[in-house]
A = this chain, B = another copy of it.
């Protein structure tokens, strides 16, 4: 089969690889129908993720068709259409029992990381019963690809951890695919205001179309002042960090109201200054989280009910065979006005 393979920093190729086979009784082989590229894949290609080694097939998102299942798999059979989760969950360790699949002792984020991933014609999914989801009848499969990673990430790490409630003023810092996913799922709770902050006007325009009630371009360094002015100097009830650098996290510290929640979503490479000399008395809550994908069933229901429309996150489509070109487009997201690129198998 063909697959997108990582060969060290800066090197990727679309090449022939052996088709995966069932090894453990809980495995399933899935024929990929649709997949996409994540910002994390670009980080891997920069060499920033040391657990990914030369020869690894990348990708942790997608929709496909069950090709074969191991003898202990009972929820799925050949021919079923399935949503793949970026997180592999064994369902039987202490972390899984708590619903913290991200820290599964036997899984977690391993696809396209420590085991071969979904940017290929076939992929092997361990613990299939607890890591795959049936595609609901009549669902828009293109849209569902957005449920493998970015929507549960925005929802769990941003919206749920931020404890957004009706009437709240919410700020989301970063209007990339994950920040926009936080925006779309924040709307589940009807906050009074959603302020979107970014430095790219195109993304802020998208945010407005997606329902942001206020957008702020922070390029001039005045984002803090603008938020404080907009909120009558009170600050926001919930600040969601969806970038992953010190400056944006510290912006969240600057704009949070007493009693507020800062929900970190971004992947950080450096420590940040936590201004406890100011925040110690401010009754704030700060959370971090690697997505658990524990809300995938809920998100599937919301898609089916028409309350969540993930398709609008897809800006570009390619045949799976053109994935090398898709990477180029996604790698120049600002210039290409790209959010998510979708690749479809022939």
User: In chain A, residues 270-323, which have Cβ atoms closer than 8 Å to a Cβ of chain B?
Assistant: 270-277, 279-290, 292, 294, 297-299, 301-302, 304-305, 307
Q: Which chain B residues lie closer than 8 Å to A102 at the CB level?
A: 281, 283
A233 within 8 A of B: no
CA distance A91 to B290 in the complex (A): 22
The interface-forming segment of A61-69, A189-197, A216-224, A336-344 is A189-197
CB distance from A137 to the nearest CB of B (A): 12
Point out the residue from B91, B259, B294, B305 that lies within 8 Å of A192, measured CB to CB.
B305
CA distance A297 to B290 in the complex (A): 24
**Is B259 a contact of A98 with CB atoms below 8 Å?**
yes
CA distance A299 to B94 in the complex (A): 14
The interface-forming segment of A52-60, A173-181, A260-268 is A260-268
Point out the residue from B91, B97, B249, B266 that lies within 8 Å of A92, measured CB to CB.
B91
Point out the residue from B71, B189, B264, B276 that lies within 8 Å of A280, measured CB to CB.
B264
A72 within 8 A of B: yes
User: In chain A, residues 187-220, which have Cβ atoms closer than 8 Å to a Cβ of chain B?
Assistant: 187-193, 213
Q: Which chain B residues lie closer than 8 Å to A274 at the CB level?
A: 249, 271-274, 286
Q: Which residue of B lies closest to A257 (CB)?
A: B103
CA distance A270 to B74 in the complex (A): 38
Q: Which chain B residues lie closer than 8 Å to A299 at the CB level?
A: 167
Q: Which chain B residues lie closer than 8 Å to A100 at the CB level?
A: 258-259, 283
User: In chain A, residues 81-108, which have Cβ atoms closer than 8 Å to a Cβ of chain B?
Assistant: 91-92, 94-100, 102-103, 106
Point out the residue from B244, B264, B280 that lies within 8 Å of A288, measured CB to CB.
B280
CA distance A56 to B147 in the complex (A): 46
A329 within 8 A of B: no
**Is B25 a contact of A71 with CB atoms below 8 Å?**
yes
**Is B287 a contact of A284 with CB atoms below 8 Å?**
yes
Q: Which residue of B lies closest to A159 (CB)?
A: B166
**Is B289 a contact of A283 with CB atoms below 8 Å?**
yes
Flag A19-32 by CB within 8 Å of B: 1 or 0 each.
Answer: 00000011000000
A75 within 8 A of B: yes
Flag A142-167 by CB within 8 Å of B: 1 or 0 each.
Answer: 00000000000000000000000111
CA distance A129 to B275 in the complex (A): 35
A269 within 8 A of B: yes
**Is A268 a contact of B287 with CB atoms below 8 Å?**
no
A80 within 8 A of B: no
**Is A74 a contact of B103 with CB atoms below 8 Å?**
no
CA distance A297 to B98 in the complex (A): 11
Ordered by A's residue number, 7 sampled pairs between the chains whose C-beta atoms are within 8 Å are: A74-B106, A91-B97, A268-B280, A270-B277, A272-B274, A273-B273, A281-B288
What is A's interface to B at a CB cutoff of 8 Å? 25-26, 71-72, 74-75, 91-92, 94-100, 102-103, 106, 129-130, 165-167, 187-193, 213, 244, 249, 258-259, 264, 266-277, 279-290, 292, 294, 297-299, 301-302, 304-305, 307
Please give me the 4 A-B residue pairs with the lowest Cβ-Cβ distance, nearest first: A72-B72, A167-B301, A268-B276, A192-B305
